[in-house]
Amino acid sequence: MEELVISPYFLSALFFTVALVYSSVGLGGGSSYTALMAILGVSHVAIPAISLTLNLFVTSVGSYNFIRKKHARLGLVAPFLVTSIPMSYLGGAIKLPKDIFYWILLVSLIFVSIRIYAWEHTSLRLDIGKAKKIIVSLMAGSVLGFIAGTVGIGGGIYLVPLIIILGLGSAKEAAACGAVFIWVNSLSGLIARFQYHSIDIFAFLPVIVAVLIGGYLGSFMGSSTLSSRAMEKYLGGIVIVAIAFLLKRTLLI
């Protein structure tokens, strides 16, 4: 693994903040974890596994808090999971060359930044039939699952507003669905990663503890009254910096 340029304890503090804010709206924070690790020089082989692990821990406590508050609906998330689970496993099994990995990550982060800064309002509603909503859900699940497995971005940052736009559930229900979706696909992608790739996750134990604490606190507040969507813009700055960094790196590969 390539050397980190900062202390793992400082990285833990950064990831605690990411987990706290993102978990409050049903997200795992994978986009920011991945962006930070790319900036800080973590190996491209290790990034997806670490991001998926952190997503798994954050959304474990997040799912618990949202389910406990009775916001979760299995029927809402099921169509997305049908296609995302096999695709996240497939993505996790693939060992991408370094240049292809960075290009996929770069494109994924560009879409994340568009989602944060250009698609911040979810007042739009698509008036389409039930059958078309299921088709959209199946297609979205497959794409987001594959991205989760390959680069470690859980996909909840797209899924939560998509559920609202399709008129499938409320903001709280969408957040609960996002947490469950990320958890399931992070687990699926991790199973494949551990089968096909050798990663020392225990080296990142302080970071895991940090996101567990941040994820619990954020999801507890988010499942009650807190709304932290505005904070996404500030954390989205990490993504913008990562895009610039990755663009330079990909052009030099």
Q: What are the boundaries of each domain within the chain? A: 8-252
Q: Is 137 helix (H, G, I), strand (E, B) or coil?
A: helix
Other residues' Cβ atoms within 10 Å of the Cβ of residue 7? 10
What pLDDT does residue 142 have? Answer: 94
Provide the residue count of the chain.
Answer: 253
> What is the distance between the alpha carbons of residues 197 and 195, in angstroms, rounded to a whole number?
6
Task: Copy the structure tokens of residue 10.
Answer: 């400082």
Helix axes 8-23, 30-40, angle to 10 degrees: 160
3-state helix, strand, coil in the chain (%, to 5): 75, 0, 25
128-142 pLDDT, tens digit per residue, is 778 888 898 899 999
Q: Phi/psi at 114 (nearest 5 deg)?
A: -60, -45
Predicted confidence (pLDDT) at residue 74 exceeds the cutoff of 50: yes
Question: Within 13 A of 85's CA, how many CA atoms are on the CB side?
Answer: 9
Q: Do 120 and 161 meet the contact criterion of CB atoms below 8 Å apart? A: no
37-65 pLDDT, tens digit per residue, is 888 878 888 888 888 888 888 888 777 77
Q: Which residue shows structure tokens 């979760």?
A: 72
Q: Do 246 and 105 meet the contact criterion of CB atoms below 8 Å apart? A: yes
- How much is the mean pLDDT over the chain? 80
User: Residue 106 carries which side chain, given as an amino acid letter?
Assistant: L
> What is the distance between the alpha carbons of residues 34 and 37, in angstroms, rounded to a whole number?
5
> What is the distance between the alpha carbons of residues 147 and 43, in angstroms, rounded to a whole number?
18
CA distances from 200 to 40, 61, 174, 208 (A): 17, 23, 33, 13
Task: Copy the structure tokens of residue 200.
Answer: 């020392």
Predicted confidence (pLDDT) at residue 120 exceeds the cutoff of 70: no
Mean pLDDT calculated for residue range 105-115: 84
